[in-house]
Amino acid sequence: MKYRLNKFQKRLPLGGHHFPEKGAMIKGETFHEVVDLLTNFRLFNGRALGNPVREVTDYYASKFPWMVILETEPVKEEELDEDYVAWRDWISGVWGKPMGKFISLRESKDRLQICRGCPHNVGKPWDESEESIEFERKSLMLKRGNLVDEKICYCDLHKADISVSCFIENPIPVSRKDKDEQDYPACWFTNLGS
């Protein structure tokens, strides 16, 4: 069931507006402030954003039913791009568990050159959002501040951020696929796995 905030409620939630988030309690003056704080908390801690409005609303429905009303009209859920979700999860994985050794700039430029001509290099097919901007910032830090051409972004075969993986000695452990089979024999990713 889907709920929405009851704008005409007479009582506040017990303890004020809040939301428990994996070991932390997000508190604010209003419902919308809690949603904003939850969004920022997740972004700055490298967690998947999810749908903070719906999650806080569902929490209120279970704990403070007077705060919400049942949505009678069907609400169209916004679907995330599959490539974006894979890219975001890859950046989160590398951010949470750094890969260790970085390679020289010369070798990373060779890798980037190979990826530049690869048919699996898809750029950024997703729309920019608050969450994607934060993950772009993390991506920049993971590649040690080196600016890489925006056209070299995401490998849809290995489900990895090309601009970051080119700087890591062995990015295979956090990638979904380590073998290229026959799609692109010049791939340096494939050569690492063999």
What pLDDT does 75 receive?
Answer: 59
Task: Quickly tell me which residue has 């490298």 as its tokens.
Answer: 46
Q: With respect to residue 66, please indicate whether it lies within any of the assigned structural domains.
A: yes
What pLDDT does 194 receive?
Answer: 43
Most confident by average pLDDT, 109-113, 127-131, 144-148, 170-174:
109-113
Q: Are 96 and 158 contained in the same domain?
A: yes
Domain housing 37 = 3-70
**pLDDT surpassing 70 at residue 78:** no
Q: Give the number of domains in the chain.
A: 2
Interhelix angle for 82-96 vs 130-142, to 10°? Answer: 40
Q: Are 15 and 92 contained in the same domain?
A: no
Q: Are 103 and 27 contained in the same domain?
A: no
Q: Are 186 and 119 contained in the same domain?
A: yes
Q: With respect to residue 77, please indicate whether it lies within any of the assigned structural domains.
A: no
Q: Are 152 and 115 in contact (CB under 8 A)?
A: yes
Q: With respect to residue 39, please indicate whether it lies within any of the assigned structural domains.
A: yes
**pLDDT surpassing 90 at residue 110:** no
Q: Are 162 and 136 contained in the same domain?
A: yes
Q: Are 140 and 95 contained in the same domain?
A: yes
117 confidence band (pLDDT: 50, 70, 90): confident
Q: With respect to residue 76, please indicate whether it lies within any of the assigned structural domains.
A: no
Q: Are 60 and 140 contained in the same domain?
A: no
What pLDDT does 20 receive?
Answer: 94
> Final residue of a domain: which of 41, 70, 99?
70
* 71 vs 62, residue with greater confidence: 62
C-alpha 93/C-alpha 49 separation (Å) is 14
Most confident by average pLDDT, 29-33, 89-93, 107-111, 169-173:
29-33
What pLDDT does 56 receive?
Answer: 92
Q: Are 62 and 86 contained in the same domain?
A: no
Q: Are 102 and 178 contained in the same domain?
A: yes
Inter-CA distances, 132 with 6, 10, 90, 129, 154, Å: 30, 37, 13, 5, 13
What is the tens place of the pLDDT at every residue in 169-186? Answer: 777 654 555 454 555 666
What is the tens place of the pLDDT at every residue in 9-31? Answer: 778 888 889 999 988 999 999 99
What pLDDT does 42 receive?
Answer: 83
* 25 vs 47, residue with greater confidence: 25
Q: With respect to residue 75, please indicate whether it lies within any of the assigned structural domains.
A: no
Please give the average per-residue pLDDT across 35-49, as a whole number.
82
Q: Are 168 and 90 contained in the same domain?
A: yes
Q: Are 139 and 52 contained in the same domain?
A: no
Q: Are 90 and 44 contained in the same domain?
A: no
